[in-house]
């Protein structure tokens, strides 16, 4: 395998190596259960596909409903660059309706299809091969009377008997089809089989040079993209695909994957498309929002983890050179930048990098302490956001000179009171432990502190809020204590609200203790903060 250098420039282009992208998000994609889109959403997606450089937009199945007809017709009216295509069965009414829908297009295509496999002919069509053959000829002829751009598909092509497939393909081309699609309708084929099929059909059919061959692969065995690429290697020059790979059952080949496979591995696949790849992530989001189909996190190219690294080893590698763990630049697919996700697998290098990115500078010991806290937090929580890091660094700096430190806390809470807290504190170097009850767990925690560090300060404010989202977010607690006419406020964050409460209370108490010590110390010591 050659080296994996991310693609930054467009490779050399020849017409023979150009692969036409036929997007069927609005037809095969919309056919998948639950993906129905509104008229406006369809117009929006079509405009985006056109802008992205899609060559052919299959906008719908006009005979299916008036809504589909209207959408195809309006997309045909509005589209400026792409060919607008409508799907049609082989019947005369279907073809005529499709022709009417694409009429407003600058360039329109009729895509007509008919099953050719034994199982489909027998059970679905209830026709014999000769009848099917004749219908191929009559349907393509009728379509061709409406437009010069006609595509014919042999539905269930990969399960069709080879000689019959070749006869139908030859007849369709003779009747005027300019594109021949051999779909893997049920996602059954393997890449080597699909390669051989295209190679043999193209070699066997005498007029095969008069049509563009097209691949259309479903993903039932997870091979839609691999099969599409295999077909292209065998001479197909049109790929039928959908954004995010949505489509019937397990979906279709994903547009973003076939496009980027050809770009990133141009050494193996010396083909090119007109797609502006920097729009791929945007397109994925738009289609996901319109269909309400979430994009799987680890989806190739457009999944939110496609350019995210959490493992310490990978983050370290990425910081040294992005090529260590990325085969394409995130910008080439419209992702602003790689994200180093801070989590329990992140190492010191990534932590320091993150602090620098956030403009936080810590000295040696502070950094060590912050890193230990970060690891402890990462062990307890799934997502660590910048605010979490800010909170723990802040706490780390503020509490460096604390006289009273929390060593441990256990609280028993629940419906069967009284709530009880057990707390261990380091008070000026001495470890002390105490237990207390309270009217609720927070009260028990504060009572514990009062018996460990007796004081007169009064609680003026106790406030809790979540620093970040989710039930595993850090709780930030603010406590204000008033003592001898002065108020001291402290904040603390922790995924455990009671721990954050104890730390915030102790923070305010520390301020009072330190102030009292400063007030009573001889002037030289007070100035030095001792
Ligand atoms: O999967 C298929 O065979 C199709 C045809 C209509 C092309 O979607
Ligand atoms: Zn399909």
CATH at residue 470: 3.30.160.270
Are residue 353 and residue 479 in the same domain, yes or no?
A: no
- The predicted pLDDT at position 13 comes to 85
First and final C-alpha spacing in the chain: 66
Residue 153 beta carbon below 6 angstroms from any ligand 1 atom? yes
What is the band of 10 on the pLDDT scale with cuts at 50, 70, 90?
A: low
- The predicted pLDDT at position 518 comes to 66
Domain limit, last residue, from 291, 324, 354: 291
Q: Which atom of ligand 1 is nearest to the CA of 153?
A: 7
Report the separation in Å between the CA atom of 251 and the middle of ligand 2, taken as the mean of its atom positions.
8
Are residue 186 and residue 73 in the same domain, yes or no?
A: yes
Are residue 87 and residue 73 in the same domain, yes or no?
A: yes
Angle at 202 between CA 197 and CA 208, to 5 degrees: 145
Are residue 506 and residue 386 in the same domain, yes or no?
A: no
Residue 113 beta carbon below 6 angstroms from any ligand 1 atom? yes
pLDDT at 472 over 60: yes
Average pLDDT of the chain to the nearest whole number = 90
152 phi/psi in degrees, rounded to 5: -120, 135
The H-or-E segment that residue 489 falls in is: strand 486-494
What is the band of 416 on the pLDDT scale with cuts at 50, 70, 90?
A: confident
Show Cβ contacts of residue 388 under 8 Å, excluding neighbours closer than 6 positions. 377, 381, 467, 468, 473, 474, 493
- The predicted pLDDT at position 208 comes to 98
Q: Between residues 468 and 402, which one has the greater pLDDT?
A: 402
Report the separation in Å between the CA atom of 337 and the middle of ligand 2, taken as the mean of its atom positions.
34
Asked, for residue 514, whether it belongs to a domain, the answer is yes
Are residue 249 and residue 355 in the same domain, yes or no?
A: no
Report the separation in Å between the CA atom of 13 and the middle of ligand 1, taken as the mean of its atom positions.
30
Q: Which atom of ligand 1 is nearest to the CA of 87?
A: 6
> How is residue 155 written in tokens?
């539905």
- The predicted pLDDT at position 256 comes to 98
Are residue 24 and residue 170 in the same domain, yes or no?
A: yes
Report the separation in Å between the CA atom of 155 and the middle of ligand 1, taken as the mean of its atom positions.
6
Residue 58 beta carbon below 6 angstroms from any ligand 1 atom? no
- The predicted pLDDT at position 485 comes to 74
- The predicted pLDDT at position 391 comes to 72
Mutate which of 27, 28, 136 for ligand 1 pocket (most atoms within 8 A of beta carbon): 28
Rounded mean pLDDT of 146-151?
98
What is the band of 362 on the pLDDT scale with cuts at 50, 70, 90?
A: confident
What is the band of 415 on the pLDDT scale with cuts at 50, 70, 90?
A: confident
Question: Which of 338, 243, 324 lies closest to 282, judged by CA?
Answer: 243
pLDDT at 7 over 50: no
Question: Which of 442, 411, 439, 441 lies closest to 424, judged by CA?
Answer: 411
Q: Which residues of 368-398 are buried (b: 16+ CB within 10 A; e: fewer)?
A: ebbbebbeebbeebeebbebbbebbbbbbee
Rounded mean pLDDT of 198-214?
98
Does this model's pTM top 0.85? no
What is the band of 359 on the pLDDT scale with cuts at 50, 70, 90?
A: low
Residue with the smallest CA separation from ligand 1 atom 4 is: 185
Residue with the smallest CA separation from ligand 1 atom 6 is: 113
pLDDT at 80 over 90: yes
Residue with the smallest CA separation from ligand 1 atom 8 is: 28
Asked, for residue 164, whether it belongs to a domain, the answer is yes
Asked, for residue 306, whether it belongs to a domain, the answer is no
Are residue 393 and residue 408 in the same domain, yes or no?
A: no
Asked, for residue 283, whether it belongs to a domain, the answer is yes
How far is C-alpha 498 from the chain's CA centre? 36
Residue with the smallest CA separation from ligand 1 atom 5 is: 155
Per residue in 320-346, pLDDT tens? 888 898 999 999 999 877 778 888 888
Residue 240 beta carbon below 6 angstroms from any ligand 1 atom? no
Domain limit, last residue, from 274, 291, 308: 291
- The predicted pLDDT at position 4 comes to 46
pLDDT at 8 over 80: no
Residue 7 beta carbon below 6 angstroms from any ligand 1 atom? no
Report the separation in Å between the CA atom of 100 and the middle of ligand 2, taken as the mean of its atom positions.
23
CATH number at residue 65: 3.20.20.70
Are residue 268 and residue 168 in the same domain, yes or no?
A: yes
Max CA distance (Å), the chain: 110
> How is residue 333 written in tokens?
């697919």
Q: Which atom of ligand 1 is nearest to the CA of 183?
A: 3
Are residue 33 and residue 153 in the same domain, yes or no?
A: yes
Residue 206 to residue 229: CA distance in whole angstroms: 24
Report the separation in Å between the CA atom of 248 and the middle of ligand 1, taken as the mean of its atom positions.
9
Residue 216 beta carbon below 6 angstroms from any ligand 1 atom? yes
Rounded mean pLDDT of 270-280?
97
Per residue in 34-59, pLDDT tens? 888 889 999 999 999 999 999 999 99
Residue with the smallest CA separation from ligand 1 atom 7 is: 153
- The predicted pLDDT at position 268 comes to 95
3-state secondary structure 77-105: HHCCCCEEEEEECCCHHHHHHHHHHHCCC
What is the band of 399 on the pLDDT scale with cuts at 50, 70, 90?
A: low
Residue with the smallest CA separation from ligand 1 atom 2 is: 185
Q: Which atom of ligand 1 is nearest to the CA of 240?
A: 7
Could you list the residue range(s) of the whole structural domain that residue 492 is in? Answer: 404-518
Are residue 76 and residue 173 in the same domain, yes or no?
A: yes
How are beta strands 83-88 and 108-115 bridged, if at all? parallel
Residue 4 to residue 329: CA distance in whole angstroms: 11
- The predicted pLDDT at position 1 comes to 43
Ligand nearest to the CA of 155: 1
What is the band of 387 on the pLDDT scale with cuts at 50, 70, 90?
A: low
289 in Cβ contact with 37 (< 8 Å): no
Domain count, the chain: 3
Domain limit, last residue, from 381, 398, 415: 398
326 in Cβ contact with 7 (< 8 Å): no
Asked, for residue 325, whether it belongs to a domain, the answer is no
CB count, 10 Å around CB of 331? Answer: 15
Q: Which atom of ligand 1 is nearest to the CA of 27?
A: 8
Per residue in 242-261, pLDDT tens? 999 999 999 999 999 999 99
Residue 157 beta carbon below 6 angstroms from any ligand 1 atom? no
Mutate which of 63, 155, 213, 228 for ligand 1 pocket (most atoms within 8 A of beta carbon): 155
pLDDT at 486 over 80: no
Asked, for residue 225, whether it belongs to a domain, the answer is yes
Are residue 21 and residue 52 in the same domain, yes or no?
A: yes
Q: What percent of the chain has pLDDT over 90?
A: 64
Are residue 419 and residue 357 in the same domain, yes or no?
A: no
Residue 185 beta carbon below 6 angstroms from any ligand 1 atom? yes
Asked, for residue 229, whether it belongs to a domain, the answer is yes
Residue 474 to residue 501: CA distance in whole angstroms: 12
Per residue in 125-143, pLDDT tens? 999 999 999 999 999 999 9
Report the separation in Å between the CA atom of 183 and the middle of ligand 1, taken as the mean of its atom positions.
6
- The predicted pLDDT at position 279 comes to 96
Residue 112 beta carbon below 6 angstroms from any ligand 1 atom? no
């Amino acid at each position: 395998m050659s080296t994996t250098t991310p693609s930054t420039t467009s490779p050399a282009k020849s017409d023979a190596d150009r692969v036409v992208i036929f997007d069927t998000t609005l037809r095969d994609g919309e056919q998948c259960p639950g993906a129905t889109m509104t008229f406006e959403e369809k117009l929006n997606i079509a405009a985006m596909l056109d802008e992205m450089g899609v060559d052919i937009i299959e906008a719908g199945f006009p005979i299916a409903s008036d809504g589909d007809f209207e959408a195809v017709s309006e997309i045909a009216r509005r589209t400026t660059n792409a060919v607008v295509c409508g799907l049609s069965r082989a019947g005369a009414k279907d073809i005529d309706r499709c022709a009417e829908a694409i009429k407003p297009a600058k360039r329109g295509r009729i895509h007509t299809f008919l099953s050719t496999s034994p199982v489909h002919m027998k059970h679905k069509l209830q026709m014999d091969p000769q009848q099917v053959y004749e219908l191929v000829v009559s349907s393509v002829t009728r379509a061709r009377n409406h437009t010069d751009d006609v595509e014919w598909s042999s539905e269930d092509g990969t399960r069709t008997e080879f000689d019959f497939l070749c006869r139908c393909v030859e007849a369709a081309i003779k009747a005027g089809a300019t594109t021949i699609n051999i779909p893997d309708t049920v996602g059954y084929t393997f890449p080597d089989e699909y390669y051989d099929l295209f190679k043999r059909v193209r070699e066997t059919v005498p007029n095969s040079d008069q049509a563009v061959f097209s691949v259309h692969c479903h993903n039932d065995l997870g091979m839609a993209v691999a099969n599409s690429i295999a077909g292209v290697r065998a001479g197909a020059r049109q790929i039928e695909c959908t954004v995010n790979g949505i489509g019937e059952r397990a979906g279709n080949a994903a547009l973003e994957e076939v496009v980027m496979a050809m770009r990133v591995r141009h050494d193996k696949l010396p083909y090119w498309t007109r797609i502006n790849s920097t729009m791929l992530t945007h397109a994925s989001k738009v289609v996901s929002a319109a269909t309400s189909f979430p994009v799987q996190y680890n989806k190739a190219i457009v999944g939110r983890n496609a350019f995210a690294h959490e493992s310490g080893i990978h983050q370290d590698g990425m910081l040294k050179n992005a090529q260590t763990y990325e085969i394409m630049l995130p910008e080439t697919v419209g992702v602003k930048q790689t994200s180093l996700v801070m989590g329990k697998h992140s190492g010191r290098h990534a932590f320091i990098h993150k602090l620098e990115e956030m403009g936080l500078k810590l000295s040696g010991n502070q950094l060590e302490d912050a890193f230990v806290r970060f690891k402890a937090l990462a062990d307890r929580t799934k997502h660590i956001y910048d605010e979490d890091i800010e909170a723990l660094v802040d706490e780390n700096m503020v509490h460096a000179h604390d006289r009273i430190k929390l060593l441990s806390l256990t609280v028993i809470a629940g419906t069967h009171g009284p709530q009880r807290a057990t707390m261990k504190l380091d008070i000026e170097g001495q470890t002390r432990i105490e237990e207390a009850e309270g009217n609720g767990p927070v009260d028990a925690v504060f009572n514990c502190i009062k018996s460990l560090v007796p004081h007169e300060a009064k609680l003026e404010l106790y406030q809790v809020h979540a620093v970040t989202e989710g039930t595993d977010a850090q709780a930030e607690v603010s406590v204000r204590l008033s003592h001898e006419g002065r108020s001291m406020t402290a904040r603390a964050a922790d995924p455990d609200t009671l721990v954050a409460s104890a730390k915030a209370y102790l923070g305010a108490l520390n301020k009072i203790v330190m102030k009292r010590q400063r007030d009573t110390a001889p002037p030289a010591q007070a100035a030095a903060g001792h």
